[in-house]
Amino acid sequence: MVKVNGTELNIAGKTVAEYLAGTNYDPKRIAVERNGDIVPKAQYETVVLADGDSVEVVSFVGGG
């Protein structure tokens, strides 16, 4: 299981890009952190999520 934003999901073995494709996140407006390290957008296709990983997806929202 992979913990994403505090929720355990059965997505081990998927890449970050594969996970994001099944969500409503806009890849241009988010940052992904895996086990405390930011995942560069250029690596979303190659970084594979593993059992026990902790992932945080942060959305950027404009405001004022």
The pLDDT of residue 8: 98
Which domain range does residue 45 map to?
A: 2-59
- Residue matched to tokens 């902790």: 54
Instruction: Look at the chain and report how many structural domains it folds into.
Output: 1
Q: Is residue 36 part of a domain?
A: yes
Residue 20 lies in a domain: yes
pLDDT of residue 27: 85
Degrees, nearest 5: CA angle 30-9-51: 100
Read off the pLDDT of residues 30-49 as tens digits, 9 standing for 90 and up: 999 999 999 999 999 999 99
Tell me the CATH number at 44: 3.10.20.30
